[in-house]
C-alpha cells in the first residue's frame, strides 16, 4: 500500500507543525508556500501549554526552543492608569505543575525557523501561490500562479486568516470587523526602566483599551495595544499607516510604564482586527482547513497559534482512523456527505473526521 500524497498549503506555524507530525507518522507530505522566503506575519506569539507540550514531548525541540523563547512567570492584570494589580495568576513553576508544560513568548520568525528546520527542505516549496484547486478527478489538482501544478489525495489549507484555500472551497470570503484596532511593537529591556514584573505576561486595562505585553527569548517585550475604535473601520485595507506617535493619543494619563513602552519604538501602522464568521463545515471532498483558515480569532484572544497547533496534532492523530473503520471502505473522497446508513456521520466543523476518511480511502485506492 502506497502512502497517500498529502498537500499542505501554507508554511506558517500550523502548516509546518502538521507537516512535521504527519512525517513522524510516515506520510508523504508536501508543503506549498506562496512567499519567496519563510517570513511569519506579525511580531511575536504567546504559546500556552496546550501547544508547547507537543513541541517538547513529541518533536524533541526543547533545546532549540529554549534558546529562542522566554518562559513567562505568571499572568498579571493591572489598572492601566494606576498600575494597581487587579489579579495575579500562577508563577512559572505553578503553571508547569498544573498544566504540564510552559507558557512562553517567542518571536514568530524564530518559531517558524525552528519548525522549518525540523521539517527539512525536502518537500517544502516556496514561491508557489495557489490560484485554483480542481477536486473533480481521481485526485485533487492544485494550479499555481507560476503555471506549475501538483496533485494530491488530500489538501489542507493552512494559509491563514486570508486563506486562498478557504475562499476556493467556499466560493466567498467574508470577514467581520471586531470594533477594535491595534498597534504593536517590540521594545528592548533597556528602554523599559518603569516596567514592573518584566518576566510576566501583563494586561493593563482602561476605558475602551488595553495593553498586552510579554517577554520573548531575546529579553525584549512584545506589546499589543488595543483600542475599541474606530467604528466602523473606514479603510479597505486591514493595515493602514499612521503618524508616528499617534498611538499615545488617549494614553497620556496612563501609568508611566505604559507610556514608556508605547513610545519607545516607532509605531507607524495600525491594524483593524477582523474575525471570520463561524463555518458550518471546515471540509469539502478532499479539501479541509486548519487554524486561522478555519476559525480565525482576533490576535489579542491569545489562542490563534495555539489552536492551529492543536488542529495539526488532532488532524494527524491515528486514533481518528479507528473511529471510522466500520464504514471507511465505502467512502469516496469526492463524496461530500457520507451515508448515515453505511455507518458514517457528517461532523460539522470537525475536520479530523474528513481528514481521516480521505487519507484512509486514498491509501486503499493506491
Q: DSSP characters for 237-287?
A: SSEEE--TTGGGTT-TTS-HHHHHHHTSS---EEEEEEE-PPPS-SEETTE
What average pLDDT does range 215-237 have in this prediction?
93
Query: 55, 95, 103, 214: which one is catalytic?
Result: 214
Q: What percent of the chain has pLDDT over 90?
A: 66
d(CA 140, CA 153): 6
Q: Is the pLDDT of residue 89 over 50?
A: yes
CB of 315 within 8 A of CB of 156? yes
**SS3 category, 170:** helix
321: confidence class by pLDDT, cuts 50, 70, 90: very low
Q: How do residues 7-17 score in pLDDT, each as one tens digit?
A: 999 999 999 99
User: Which carries the bigger pLDDT value, residue 321 or residue 47?
Assistant: 47
Residue 296: Cβ-neighbour burial (10 angstroms; 0-12, 13-18, 19+): buried
Q: In whole numbers, what is the pLDDT of the chain averaged over residues? A: 85
Q: Is the pLDDT of residue 125 over 90?
A: yes
d(CA 147, CA 306): 34
The whole-number pLDDT of residue 40 equals 62
Q: How do residues 171-193 score in pLDDT, each as one tens digit?
A: 888 888 999 999 999 999 999 99
| Side-chain half-sphere CA neighbours of 358 within 13 A | 30
d(CA 275, CA 295): 8
Q: How do residues 251-294 score in pLDDT, each as one tens digit?
A: 999 999 999 999 999 988 999 999 888 888 788 888 989 999 99
d(CA 139, CA 132): 14
d(CA 234, CA 252): 25
The whole-number pLDDT of residue 360 equals 44
Q: How do residues 341-366 score in pLDDT, each as one tens digit?
A: 332 323 233 334 444 444 444 444 44
CB of 269 within 8 A of CB of 254? no
Residue 171: Cβ-neighbour burial (10 angstroms; 0-12, 13-18, 19+): exposed
**SS3 category, 18:** helix
Whose CA is closest to 300, among 183, 135, 170, 140?
183
The whole-number pLDDT of residue 337 equals 46
The whole-number pLDDT of residue 319 equals 64
Q: How do residues 30-70 score in pLDDT, each as one tens digit?
A: 999 999 988 766 689 999 999 999 999 999 999 999 999 99
Q: Is the pLDDT of residue 332 over 60?
A: no
Phi/psi region, residue 12 (left: phi>0; alpha: psi -120 to 50; beta: rest), is beta
Lowest mean pLDDT among 196-210, 211-225, 241-255: 241-255
214 given a catalytic annotation: yes
Q: Is the pLDDT of residue 129 over 90?
A: yes
Amino acid at each position: 500500500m502506497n502512502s497517500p500524497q498529502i498537500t499542505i498549503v501554507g508554511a506558517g506555524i500550523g502548516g509546518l507543525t502538521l507537516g512535521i507530525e504527519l512525517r513522524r507518522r510516515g506520510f508523504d507530505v508536501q508543503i506549498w508556500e506562496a512567499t519567496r522566503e519563510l517570513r511569519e506575519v506579525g511580531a511575536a506569539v504567546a504559546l500556552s501549554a496546550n501547544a508547547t507540550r507537543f513541541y517538547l514531548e513529541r518533536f524533541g525541540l526543547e533545546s532549540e526552543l529554549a534558546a529562542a523563547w522566554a518562559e513567562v512567570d505568571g499572568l498579571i492584570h493591572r489598572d492601566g492608569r494606576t498600575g494597581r494589580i487587579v489579579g495575579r495568576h500562577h508563577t512559572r513553576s505553578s503553571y508547569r505543575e498544573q498544566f504540564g508544560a510552559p507558557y512562553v513568548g517567542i518571536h514568530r520568525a524564530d518559531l517558524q525557523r525552528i519548525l522549518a528546520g525540523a521539517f527539512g527542505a525536502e518537500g517544502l516549496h516556496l514561491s508557489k501561490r495557489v490560484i485554483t484547486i480542481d477536486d473533480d478527478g481521481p485526485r485533487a489538482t492544485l494550479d499555481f500562479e507560476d503555471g506549475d501544478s501538483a496533485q494530491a489525495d488530500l489538501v489542507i489549507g493552512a494559509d491563514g486568516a486570508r486563506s486562498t484555500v478557504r475562499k476556493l472551497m467556499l466560493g466567498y470570503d467574508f470577514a467581520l470587523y471586531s470594533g477594535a484596532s491595534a498597534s504593536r511593537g517590540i521594545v528592548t529591556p533597556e528602554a523599559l526602566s518603569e516596567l514592573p514584573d518584566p518576566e510576566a505576561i501583563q494586561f493593563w486595562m482602561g476605558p475602551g483599551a488595553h495593553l498586552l505585553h510579554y517577554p520573548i527569548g531575546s529579553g525584549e517585550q512584545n506589546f499589543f495595544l488595543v483600542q475599541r475604535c474606530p467604528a466602523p473601520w473606514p479603510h479597505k485595507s486591514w493595515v493602514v499607516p499612521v503618524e508616528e506617535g499617534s498611538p499615545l493619543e488617549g494614553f497620556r494619563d496612563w501609568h508611566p510604564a505604559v507610556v514608556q513602552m508605547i513610545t519607545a519604538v516607532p509605531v507607524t501602522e495600525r491594524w483593524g482586527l477582523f474575525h471570520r464568521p463561524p463555518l458550518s463545515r471546515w471540509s469539502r471532498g478532499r479539501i479541509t482547513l486548519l487554524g486561522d483558515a478555519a476559525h480565525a480569532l482576533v490576535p489579542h484572544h491569545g489562542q490563534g497559534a495555539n489552536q492551529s497547533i492543536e488542529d495539526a496534532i488532532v488532524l494527524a492523530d491515528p486514533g481518528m482512523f479507528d473511529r471510522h473503520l466500520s464504514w471507511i471502505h465505502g467512502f469516496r473522497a469526492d463524496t461530500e456527505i457520507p451515508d448515515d446508513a453505511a455507518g458514517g456521520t457528517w461532523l460539522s466543523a470537525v475536520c479530523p473526521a474528513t481528514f481521516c476518511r480521505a487519507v484512509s480511502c486514498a491509501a486503499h485506492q493506491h
